[in-house]
Amino acid sequence: MSKNRVKNVGYDDDDFYDDDGYDSPDPEEQEHLKQCTVLVSVQLQTGEPSVTASKEEIQEALWHYYNDVEKTVNYLRGKKEKEAQKQQATTSGLKTKAQVWENILTGLPVPVYPATASRPTAHFSAAEFFRDCPWLNVPAHRKAEILVEPLYPRLGLLGGAPEAKKGSKLAALAAARKAKASGQTTPASESSASQPETAEKPKLSLQERLAASSRTPKPAEGLAGLRRLGKPSPAVSSTPSPAPSESSTRPARTEETIIRQVNLGPPPKADLRAPCSVFATALIGKETRPKITEPNHGRPMIVDFDEIYGHNTEPFDFSGPSPDDVILKAQNASQGMKSKPKAGAAKDASKKGQADLAGGMNKLSVEEKVTVKSKNLDVLAEYNKSKRKRSANFVVIGHVDAGKSTLMGRLLADQGAIDQRTLDRYRKEAEKIGKGSFALAWVLDQGSEERARGVTIDIATNKFETENTAFTIVDAPGHRDFVPNMIAGASQADFAVLVIDSSVGKFESGLKGQTKEHALLVRSMGVQKIVVAVNKMDTVQWDKDRFEEIEQQISAFLTTAGFQSKNISFVPCSGVLGDNISRRSADVHASWYSGRILIEELEDSEPYTHALDKPLRMTIGDVFRGGVQSPISISGRLDAGSLQVGDQILTMPSGESALIRSIEVDGEPNDWAVAGQNVVLNLANIDPIHLRSGDVVCRSSSPIPTITTFTAKVLAFEHLMPMLVDVHRGRLHVPARISKLVASLDKASGATLKKRPKIVSPGTVVRVVVEMDTAVPLEAPTRVVLRTGGSTVAAGLLE
């Protein structure tokens, strides 16, 4: 429930809290309340026994039970049943009451008779309230009902009353008869305000007794009477204070009426009560007398009732309404009044504390829920409004030691994304461990292990800007062991830069190795455009023939891999020297090259469109601790959809929801993000145990399904048969097995060539069924890569 509700529990003694939450409730909350109301009324009617309750009643009850439908239904049903019983009981009530009284009369005049203690008080008090009121216009039958009973307790209960001392049956009976006979007249005289002092006396003593009925009042009668007179506890003496004149028109019969009065609006300013006696004033002083103009007139009353109910719940639970009923009715009566939430909340809190302490404790959560107000932006409109540079992600791929990281380090340094001082520091440190040529690579290879070994292990993202494009580099590892990381990087890319080592022998070994695998992988991940950087041209003295030989071989291979020749371009360059990267080479041997240099090729890329209006999908690339302010952060690239601060997101396959506390787009804080952007989401209200890299972030309105088996149309890179494979999709990486080769298909038309082949050879398109051990968030159409034993065996599309 809302924060306000929780607050109330703690602040039930505080009158000065803000009521606004009630006057203008959250529309969302109201919607929820409405739903709950419908639910409850349906359950009430369909359940056994079937009862009906008004909308107000239900909502009131829901409010008390924190929108817990089940509890509300139970409570309302109990209440309605009780009411029904009560109606039946009232017909026979007189008789039973008579019996009760007879019992008392026949027994000894015990000082306390708890079973009836509370009822007579109430009647008595009710009578007291009207002591000052003109009774002339009250119908006679009503008067009778009020007044017949109030007189009884004096017989059996009033320790201080002279009647109570009469122990004999006869005397009691006589008194009862007398009371009955004078029933019509006594109240009039009593409440005529001519004898307020006498009226007050029995009332006070009774109330006080009730309030502290647990301590057996067995003091000497005279002393007790004195004490009661002399020490009117503020709670007791203030009870009659609200005696609004309107109540005179409303005959008060039960306790609920009294409480209603408590909650009723502005008390009359005038003090209608008689002043304290001289004796009392002398004993206790004037100060103790409560001021009638006290603003919080309701509270002492509440406390009083709490005490009564707290100690005397048993005797009360007969046929009368439960305390809940009383409060509810009182609140219903005073609905719309300012004092309602105050009194209601306070009562609710204190009562909850008594009746449902355990339940309340369960609801309390140690964890503080964070709420972030959503700005409810129209993200797409915002996106269209924003004047952003064109952005492009590219992945750098190639065989191990082709110089990918160095080339990108050079690019970043040249574009000013990294300052000279940092670069100098890297150079110095690299030279210290004897790896001077790796200095540029250290811009991207930040891991200590990567630096020590001189090998990129994980992808690194970095960004730089030219005049019209903001680039994000994804530097992928080239080593075959880290192809899974490279796949993660490639899944974030719009186009690829393939780096090739042109030095003798290296090119050939690379072609056999990861050059080929990487190119095939990026193609099967959907990358269309590829820029081939023929690196280390300085080691072959910018040999034009060498360049052309490489160009010919690679372009032949890339075309067979499925790249269109217009999307392939070649640049001879040197990463270490920085030639033909951001500036044209000054080397005379390189003068033969007049084509575009690398940065020009990169800028030539077309803008890429992303599925902005699709449901949100984001594969988590990393889970980390962002800092003190953001203990749980995830990073990744939005595959589809959009999100904004304050959004509730769902992570699959854990199925846990989280709240977006803040968003960083390309390292800058922002209020929203759209597909295609690299974002860091700072989350709240989720345990990091539910977040793993490879999980998918989506919305609960359109969650991504988690599946254990899928059918995919894949291109076989190696022989396929039913076998164990690893399934890769971005960071996601799970063990699986090909359980069935459904059919081999024609590459162009997709027609079935052969059903259920035993084995398919490389280059065949085949439809396979893949089973996984664990449920994994995947949905069609997704591109997946199947690998086994450290090599890619197939890649394709989920169907």
Shortest distance in whole angstroms from residue 482 CB to other proteins: 6
Cβ closer to other proteins: 444 or 715? 444
Instruction: For residue 770, give the nearest of 719, 717, 728, 718 by alpha carbon.
Output: 728
Helices (H) and strands (E) in the chain, counts: 30, 22
Rounded distance between C-alpha atoms, residue 476 and residue 404, angstroms: 8
Question: Among 1-9, 376-384, 394-402, 749-757, which window interacts with other proteins (CB under 8 A)?
Answer: 749-757
**Binding other proteins by CB under 8 A: which of 755, 763, 780, 781?**
755
**Binding other proteins by CB under 8 A: which of 219, 484, 615, 631?**
484
3-state secondary structure 612-642: CCCCCEEEEEEEECCCCCCCEEEEEEEEECE
Cβ closer to other proteins: 140 or 689? 689
Q: Does 739 bind other proteins (CB under 8 A)?
A: yes
651: which strand partners? 656, 697
Shortest distance in whole angstroms from residue 758 CB to other proteins: 7
DSSP 758: S
**Binding other proteins by CB under 8 A: which of 447, 615, 631, 703?**
447
**Binding other proteins by CB under 8 A: which of 38, 94, 721, 780?**
721
Question: Residue 214: is it exposed, middle or buried by C-beta count within 10 angstroms (0-12/13-18/19+)?
Answer: exposed
Cβ closer to other proteins: 530 or 725? 725
Q: Does 790 bind other proteins (CB under 8 A)?
A: yes
Shortest distance in whole angstroms from residue 444 CB to other proteins: 8
Pairing mode, strands 632-640 and 678-684: antiparallel
Question: Among 43-51, 229-237, 402-410, 714-722, which window interacts with other proteins (CB under 8 A)?
Answer: 714-722
Shortest distance in whole angstroms from residue 739 CB to other proteins: 4
Question: Among 81-89, 332-340, 448-456, 509-517, which window interacts with other proteins (CB under 8 A)?
Answer: 448-456
φ, ψ of residue 793 to 5 degrees: the values are -105, -25
Return the exposure string of 61-93: e unless at least 16 CB atoms fall within 10 Å of the residue's CB, then b: bbbbbbbbbebbbebbbebbebeeeeeeeeeee
Number of C-beta neighbours around residue 348 at 10 A = 22
Number of C-beta neighbours around residue 495 at 10 A = 21
Structure tokens at 56: 């107000």
All residues at 6 or more sequence positions from 41 whose CB lies less than 8 Å from its CB, including other chains = 52, 53, 55, 58
Q: Does 735 bind other proteins (CB under 8 A)?
A: yes
Say which residue the tokens 């800092």 belong to.
Answer: 627
Cα separations in angstroms, 620 against 24, 653, 697, 732:
39, 12, 7, 9
Shortest distance in whole angstroms from residue 66 CB to other proteins: 35
Cβ closer to other proteins: 535 or 635? 635
Residue ranges in 130-167 assigned as alpha helix (H): 140-148, 152-156, 162-165
Cβ closer to other proteins: 160 or 621? 621
All residues at 6 or more sequence positions from 202 whose CB lies less than 8 Å from its CB, including other chains = 124, 154, 158, 161
Question: Among 97-105, 150-158, 502-510, 730-738, which window interacts with other proteins (CB under 8 A)?
Answer: 730-738
Structure tokens at 718: 């190696």
Cβ closer to other proteins: 76 or 786? 786
Q: Does 324 bind other proteins (CB under 8 A)?
A: no
Question: Among 10-18, 270-278, 642-650, 733-741, which window interacts with other proteins (CB under 8 A)?
Answer: 733-741
Q: Does 693 bind other proteins (CB under 8 A)?
A: yes
3-state SS, residue 95 = helix
Q: Does 669 bind other proteins (CB under 8 A)?
A: no
Structure tokens at 331: 């609140």
Cα separations in angstroms, 679 against 319, 461, 650, 663, 776:
64, 11, 16, 7, 23
3-state secondary structure 2-71: CHHHHHHHHCCCCCCCCCHHHHCCCHHHHHHHHHHHHHHHHHHHHCCCCCCCCHHHHHHHHHHCCCCHHH
Return the exposure string of 586-603: e unless at least 16 CB atoms fall within 10 Å of the residue's CB, then b: ebeebeebeebbbbebbe
Q: Does 688 bind other proteins (CB under 8 A)?
A: yes
3-state SS, residue 657 = strand
107: which strand partners? none
Name residues contacting other proteins, limited to 3-22 (CB under 8 A).
Answer: none
**Binding other proteins by CB under 8 A: which of 84, 174, 282, 724?**
724
Question: Among 39-47, 230-238, 402-410, 717-725, which window interacts with other proteins (CB under 8 A)?
Answer: 717-725
The radius of gyration of the chain's CA atoms, rounded to the nearest angstrom, is 42
Using CB under 8 A, count the residues that bind other proteins.
Answer: 51
Cβ closer to other proteins: 179 or 520? 520
**Binding other proteins by CB under 8 A: which of 132, 458, 494, 579?**
458
Shortest distance in whole angstroms from residue 405 CB to other proteins: 12
Q: Does 529 bind other proteins (CB under 8 A)?
A: no
Cβ closer to other proteins: 44 or 793? 793
Question: Among 147-155, 314-322, 430-438, 753-761, which window interacts with other proteins (CB under 8 A)?
Answer: 753-761
Shortest distance in whole angstroms from residue 798 CB to other proteins: 19
Q: How many CA atoms are closer than 13 Å to the CA of 21, on its beta-carbon side? A: 15
Name residues contacting other proteins, limited to 273-312 (CB under 8 A).
Answer: none
Contact mark string toward other proteins, 761..780, x via CB under 8 A: x-------------------
Rounded distance between C-alpha atoms, residue 757 and residue 735, angstroms: 23
Rounded distance between C-alpha atoms, residue 519 and residue 515, angstroms: 6
Cα separations in angstroms, 399 against 316, 396, 552, 556, 647:
86, 10, 18, 18, 41
3-state SS, residue 781 = coil
Q: Does 481 bind other proteins (CB under 8 A)?
A: yes
Question: Among 71-79, 86-94, 331-339, 729-737, which window interacts with other proteins (CB under 8 A)?
Answer: 729-737
Q: Does 722 bind other proteins (CB under 8 A)?
A: yes
On whether the CB atoms of residues 785 and 726 are closer than 8 A, the answer is no
Q: Does 789 bind other proteins (CB under 8 A)?
A: yes
Question: Among 40-48, 153-161, 395-403, 725-733, which window interacts with other proteins (CB under 8 A)?
Answer: 725-733
Say which residue the tokens 């670069």 belong to.
Answer: 423
Q: Does 454 bind other proteins (CB under 8 A)?
A: no
**Binding other proteins by CB under 8 A: which of 171, 377, 380, 723?**
723
Q: Does 446 bind other proteins (CB under 8 A)?
A: yes
Q: Does 758 bind other proteins (CB under 8 A)?
A: yes
All residues at 6 or more sequence positions from 542 whose CB lies less than 8 Å from its CB, including other chains = 572, 585, 587, 589, 590, 592, 593
Shortest distance in whole angstroms from residue 96 CB to other proteins: 43
Q: Does 475 bind other proteins (CB under 8 A)?
A: no
Q: Does 82 bind other proteins (CB under 8 A)?
A: no
Shortest distance in whole angstroms from residue 372 CB to other proteins: 24
List of E strands, 63-160: none
Rounded distance between C-alpha atoms, residue 443 and residue 460, angstroms: 10
**Binding other proteins by CB under 8 A: which of 404, 733, 767, 783?**
733
Q: Does 448 bind other proteins (CB under 8 A)?
A: yes
Cβ closer to other proteins: 110 or 452? 452
Q: Does 730 bind other proteins (CB under 8 A)?
A: no
Q: Does 797 bind other proteins (CB under 8 A)?
A: no
Contact mark string toward other proteins, 619..658, x via CB under 8 A: --xxxxx---------x-----------------------
Chain residues that interact with other proteins, rule: CB under 8 A: 446-450, 453, 457-462, 479, 481-482, 484, 621-625, 635, 688, 691-693, 719, 721-726, 733, 735, 737-740, 754-759, 761, 787-791
